[in-house]
Structure 1
Amino acid sequence: MSELDAARTRTAGGIRLHRVSHRYGRGPAAVNALGPVDLEVPPGEFLVLVGASGCGKSTLLRLIAGFEAATEGSIEVSGATPRPGDTAGVVFQQPRLFPWQTVGGNVELALKYAGVPREHRARRREELLTRVGLEGTAARRIWEISGGQQQRVAIARALAAETSLLLLDEPFAALDALTRERLQDDLRRVSVASGRTSVFVTHSADEAAFLGSRIVVLTRRPGRVALDLPVELPRAGVDPDDLRASKEFLDLRREVGRAVKSAAAA
């Protein structure tokens, strides 16, 4: 890695993975889940990890979040070892909201843990709910809103943490196709507005092509980088429906889909 690249990944939100591998278990029963993987992710990039089930995508995300330690190699986020709760805001496949709290209460609790002073939390809560398209819902109970709205609350809660990194592990997988597409549109908009570095895990070539500013396809287990592809599609000032219908998008989706199939079979 050049000195320039190293400097870029030390700034807020930059990610550096050097010869990262991960195994589950020990001895003859050990499972090699990942690696070795080398990646440099500059600040502000929206990186999508895509591949077949079991290829190590979620494992890699957990390592970046600091939830697990790599068996081999090193990981740095903003020039430091990842620490759970401090390194990134994380959105999971299920919203994992607190049902005894209101929509606003869930977000305010995240703001409390992020160290936002009490007197500023209400204003910040409303800003975050508006950002994810949930203005006016702060007083509603979790069971009173749809699954798609619950996932929006989860994204708002992740954005409450004043981290420069957002990690998303198949957050839309359990949603119907229309809700999923709407949330993709919103996440793309929020990503552009926030400028945060993001890492998004998905099975879907379509989702990867739409969301990513860069796409990394992983091989089957143990997951390695099969394709590292920068995306040239515009990220602002374009109608999402027009983008999905464009030849450039359709060509990219086809290329990623073929790469996923090839990597899964290799």
Structure 2
Amino acid sequence: MSSPPEPAVVVEGVEHRYGTVTALGPLDLRVPSGSFLVLVGASGCGKSTLLRLIAGFERPSAGSVRVAGAEPVPGRGAGLVFQAPRLLPWKTVGGNVELALRYAGVPRQERAERVAQLLARVGLHDVAGRRTWQISGGQQQRVAIARALAVPNPLLLLDEPFAALDALTRERLQEDLRRMSAETGRTCVFVTHSVDEAVYLGSRVVVLTGRPGRIALDRDIDLPRAGVEPDELRGLPAYAAYRTEIGHAVRDAAQEKPSRTV
């Protein structure tokens, strides 16, 4: 009998401190390959800290983090999308994506085709020659996602990438991301403050307590995805039930009331 696939991310006994302040932990978490994990909680609960540990930007004060079985290395183990797109304004849209391909070691003769493919995937096939300041905020965030997808690794980390966008653009990009995740099979770890966003995107939602961040609720989200329109999905009784449960857990966790892990 074959052994089960190795988890994409394993967090064991992790604590993280800034000086005398414990920001996170103790915390244990396993993220199966191909899943879409959403971390949700109040400000200061350690969501972004955990994401930085997974990305390798910081090392835990105690415990260990493994990505694909190894200690994470910044810029290698995962594609990253932040709240601000962080694009290079002196380069074109295509130039920003091409730079990511160059750093990933893609040969020069293959880059133009790959840039076109990546921009088409995020619905920007017609703006490759524009400067980044000539496109909307939502389009800039699509470029950031395309740039993250340019790096050939199976893990995508997203730190509140839609928080600064208007509601309509945010919903559109949520649907785009959910579709791209299903098509590419990449493991996603997504940070948000929004309970609705967590339930809509996640195959699994983890709620963190107030500082130090610990797991207050760990809930699989069992909702139909393929062939279901966003409004239809949000109208399901099960969707409302998940929203209610997770919303209560977030409020309780922010007040440092223990919830449950399931």
Shorter chain as denominator, the TM-score bin is: over 0.9
Q: Look up the SS of the partner of 1:8 in the other structure.
A: coil
In structure 2, what is the equivalent of residue 15 of structure 1? Answer: 9
Counterpart for residue 242 of structure 2: 252
Q: Aligned pair 1:161/2:151, yes or no?
A: yes
Is 1:62 aligned to 2:34, yes or no? no
The separation in 2 between residues aligned to 1:260 and 1:80, in whole angstroms, is 32
Q: Give every structure 1 segment of 4 or more consecutive aligned residues whose post-TM-superposition deviation is greater than 3 Å.
A: none
For residue 54 of structure 1, report the CA deviation from its aligned partner: 0.2
Shift of 1:242: 1.1
1:24 to 12, 18, 24: 18
Inter-partner Cα distance in structure 2 for 1:138 and 1:124:
12
Taking the aligned partners of 1:248 and 1:131, their CA distance within structure 2 comes to 30
TM-score (norm 2): 0.95
Q: What percent of counterpart residues are identical?
A: 67
Q: Distance in 2 between matches of 1:33 and 1:189?
A: 33
Distance 1:181 1:246 in 2: 17
TM-score (norm 1): 0.94
Alpha-carbon separation, structure 2, partners of 1:219 and 1:236: 32
Check if 1:142 corresponds to 2:136.
no
Choose between structure 1 and 2: higher helix proportion. 1
1:33 correspondence with 2:23: yes
2:160 maps to which of 167, 170, 191: 170
Aligned-partner Cα distance in 1 for 2:221–2:185: 16
Q: Distance in 1 between matches of 2:145 and 2:231?
A: 23
2:222 aligned with 1:224: no
Where do 5+ consecutive residues of structure 2 fail to align? Answer: 257-262
Aligned partner of 2:196 in structure 1 is: 206
Unaligned runs of 5+ residues in structure 1 are none
2:130 partner letter: R
Equivalent AA in structure 2 for residue 21 of structure 1? E
CA distance in 2, matches of 1:199, 1:4: 24
Alpha-carbon contact 1:192-1:235 (below 8 Å) kept? no
Any idea what SS the aligned residue of 1:133 has? Answer: coil
How many aligned positions are there?
A: 255
